[in-house]
Amino acid sequence: MTGSQNTRGYERYFAIDTHREYHLVGGQNEDREWVVPPRRVSIEKFPEWAQKTFCAGDVVVLETTTNVCNTYDIVAYSEPQCQDHKMTKLRWKNRSSD
């Protein structure tokens, strides 16, 4: 992984690919084993799914698209049910400046 942020030591790594009617999401651990196999989650059900799924210590990568701000808000401000402390802060990276 490139960039200045060290992402080693986190428990799970998620990717979210946004489509018009659903998000394609999946998560792996540091050993690249699927902890949440890739699946489609409808836009309507995504806030509830995110609340149940994301935990403190998760790293989430979002596809930059026209509706990324709404997705970011759902992920960043969900209150994870897995642990008592807040989810790792998400960090924006402008890929056009690379």
What pLDDT does 7 receive? 57
pLDDT in tens, 44-86: 999 999 989 988 788 888 877 766 777 777 877 665 544 333 3
Residue 5: pLDDT band (50, 70, 90) is: low
CA 75 to chain centre: 7
Residue 25's beta-bridge partner residues? 16, 39
40 versus 5: which is more confidently predicted? Answer: 40
For residue 57, the tally of other CB atoms under 10 A from its CB is: 15
Q: Set out the domains of the chain in order of their start, with CATH numbers.
A: 8-62 (3.30.420.200)
Average pLDDT over residues 32-53: 94
Flag whether pLDDT at 90 surpasses 50: no
